[in-house]
Structure 1
Amino acid sequence: MTATRLLRYPFVALVLAAFALPPVWLLLSSLKPELEIFAWPPTVLPSAPTLDNFRKAWLQDHFAGFFLNSTFVAAVSSAISVAISVMAGYALAKFRFAGDTFFFLLIMSALMIPLQIILIPIFLVLRDLHLLNTLWGVILAPAATPTGVLIMRQYIRGIPDSLLEAARMDGTSEWRILWRIVVPLSLPAIATLTAFSFVARWNDFLWPFLVINDRSQWTVQLAIASNVGQWDINWPRLLAMSVLSVIPTFALFVTLQRFFMSGMMAGATKE
């Protein structure tokens, strides 16, 4: 074993520890009573683990309702984003029409526009559509993203044109080609986009904060932020809510891990 490899293992261990320590500390601290959270010297393992923080957060603070709101927002917004990105990516990758390059560059130019510039125009559009203080206002505002269109276009370009032409010669419609051929072959990219979109919508604080006023429509991030007051912070419930908020994104990544990793590798090698 070379000296370089011997030095590599401690470095990798330090990097893993740096990434693993915050979530592990968060989980262990959420199982402690408030006095033990701020005990000095600090303790790693709770002396008397308790689920009381989770019970109070779930029942007394009605976190279950906020959890369902975020799940609805993230799932529906991700489905809309993926559907739009797949259709737009297919059209831009496999069709040649007047202005196709212009439309692609126009969509990509949205990546260069800071979100702060378009906050007020989008807010006014939502107001005119009577979508303020509704979950649909949170869902529709960021549903279509140029990043999703770019990911799907680049991946679909790698699907052989001969395969699609053979389907057209058999009389298959473009819709059936898209959903029966292109979509199954693009599952790694779709899974990657789904993971990105779901995590972004689940962790989004800005749009729910701007759109929603009614507490019953709060998402998880608004509920977590409500524990941070001007004079004090409810640390036990804040930690418990933070742990609960990680569960859906962690479960999604574990479920889509195989597709996610293959999609990332394909995106790194395809033109």
Structure 2
Amino acid sequence: MKNKSQGASVLYDKTSSSLLTVGLWIVAFLYLFPLLWFILSSFKPGSELFSYPLTLLPKSPTFDNYVNSWSTLDFFTYILNTSKAAIITTILTVLASASCGYAFAKYDRKWLKFFFMCVIATTMLPTEVIMNPTFSVIKMLGLYDSSAGIIIPSINTATGIFMFRTFFVSVPDDLIESARIDGASEGKIFFRIMLPLAKPVIMALSIFSFQWRWNDYIWPLIVLNDPKKYTLQVAIRSLVGAENINWSLLIGASVISLIPLLLVFIVFQRYILDSNVTSGLKD
């Protein structure tokens, strides 16, 4: 009876695992299929994009969409503008979020707890609600139509602060107390101990922040007026005419804009789990 019970349990585990695997493959396919269609459509000539019946694979594959998109838009200028804004904002976002998260996690002050609740409450506000007052402040400070105008309002993010605060709460206070006993200042504790421990959070937030800023469209569209200062997403939007849309050109340019994001993810995603919170501690 015991062997039969164990055999039934093993069979149940295998069946459950197989069903879960099949379910995950189905979900992954549902997410990847639109992206696959989008990429394959970039190789279709304009006459095939809306031909009936629709086909997944291009009948006459061509690279003309990419060539025309590259020659139409000044990609080097727009990629440089977007990269500058995304990289600077990401660095400042990580530093600001890490310092705020550390203060909320390790300093026992009642007003800090209240302030943290206020920060988290901002996640319930739609972005459109704060755009008008933010734009008014940016214009009053003389940052309209400048890179600083799209960088500064994007530095503080409640998501980043919450991520770092959650991580630093899990770090034992004994590590900090030991460093203080050894004479380490608060700055050294933060930069030499806490930040290295938070490497997975830093990498995760860096990827998210870079992606947010790279894909940001509404705010740069509002703040920037000079076409030479446009970010890539705003420049791609300029391809849409008032009466007609060159879909082949638009799709080719959109796929090109995805390449830097893909490269960033491939390079940095392996660092996300490359850390140990309890490193440097004794049992």
The C-alpha deviation readout for 1:235-261, integer Å capped at 9, x for no partner, is 111111111122222222222323446
Which residue, 185, 193, 200 being the options, matches 2:197? 185
**Unpaired segments of 5 or more residues in structure 2?**
1-10, 276-283
1:78 maps to what in 2?
A: 90
Separation in 2 of the partners of 1:141 and 1:132? Answer: 12
1:218 maps to what in 2?
A: 230
Task: Give me the TM-score of the superposition, normalised by structure 2.
Answer: 0.85
Find out whether 1:143 has 2:159 as its counterpart. no
- Larger CA deviation: 124-133 vs 99-108: 99-108
Separation in 2 of the partners of 1:152 and 1:262? Answer: 16
2:185 maps to what in 1?
A: 173
Q: CA deviation at 1:113?
A: 2.8
1:267 maps to what in 2?
A: none
- SS in structure 1 at match of 2:244: coil
Letter aligned with residue 240 of structure 2: V
Change in CA separation of 1:177 and 1:247 when aligned onto 2, cut-off 3 Å? same
Q: CA deviation at 1:262?
A: 7.2
Letter aligned with residue 171 of structure 2: I
| Residues 94 and 206, structure 2, Cα contact 8 Å, conserved in 1 | yes
**Unpaired segments of 5 or more residues in structure 1?**
264-271
Q: CA deviation at 1:123?
A: 0.6
- SS in structure 2 at match of 1:141: helix
2:270 maps to what in 1?
A: 258
- SS in structure 1 at match of 2:65: helix
Separation in 2 of the partners of 1:142 and 1:172? Answer: 32
1:246 maps to what in 2?
A: 258
The C-alpha deviation readout for 1:153-210, integer Å capped at 9, x for no partner, is 1101111111111111221221111111101111111112112211111111110111
Q: CA deviation at 1:108?
A: 2.1
| Residues 58 and 64, structure 1, Cα contact 8 Å, conserved in 2 | no
Q: CA deviation at 1:30?
A: 0.9
1:230 maps to what in 2?
A: 242
Separation in 2 of the partners of 1:198 and 1:12? Answer: 28
| Residues 199 and 274, structure 2, Cα contact 8 Å, conserved in 1 | no
Separation in 2 of the partners of 1:6 and 1:17? Answer: 16
- Larger CA deviation: 192-201 vs 205-214: 192-201
Aligned-residue Cα RMSD (Å) equals 2.1
Find out whether 1:36 has 2:36 as its counterpart. no
Tell me how many residue pairs correspond in the alignment.
263
Letter aligned with residue 170 of structure 1: D
Q: How does 1:40-189 map to 2 (within 5 A)?
A: 40-97=52-109, 99-189=111-201
The C-alpha deviation readout for 1:21-73, integer Å capped at 9, x for no partner, is 11211111112221222333333333343322212222322122212211111
Letter aligned with residue 113 of structure 1: L
Q: Which entry has the higher C-alpha Rg, 1 or 2?
A: 2
- SS in structure 2 at match of 1:49: coil
Separation in 2 of the partners of 1:159 and 1:94? Answer: 9
Separation in 2 of the partners of 1:194 and 1:211? Answer: 24
Separation in 2 of the partners of 1:155 and 1:231? Answer: 51
Letter aligned with residue 170 of structure 2: G
